[in-house]
Amino acid sequence: MGRKYDKLVRDDIPEIIEENDETPQIHVADGEEYARRLRAKLDEEVAEYHEDPSLGELADILEVVHALGEHHGVSAAELRRRREAKADERGRFADGIVLERVSSE
């Protein structure tokens, strides 16, 4: 009896499984299924980062973000440009500012 996963994995995982004398059962997601599975993978990777806030987990999040960008037809360079434009317009998260309340005069 095998282990069940039903999740998006990195492209080389089936080959790695075969190198361990196991047989992966896979299919290739596309279209809306691929987008849905990428969003689920992003949630999974963020949860893993919460458990282990390491650079490796942070890199996994970036890998999924780049795959999502590519799925939407946006290159990593364009995503970087958009990130910079938004930072120029609204700032970054470098100062640790926490908005507690906004009051009207």
Summarize pLDDT for 53-97 with one digit per residue, the tens. Answer: 999 999 999 999 999 999 999 999 999 999 999 999 999 999 999
Query: What ranges do the domains of the chain cover?
Result: 13-90
The per-residue pLDDT for 2 is 85
State yes or no: pLDDT of 22 exceeds 80: yes
The per-residue pLDDT for 89 is 97
CA distances from 84 to 64, 79, 90, 91 (A): 19, 9, 10, 9
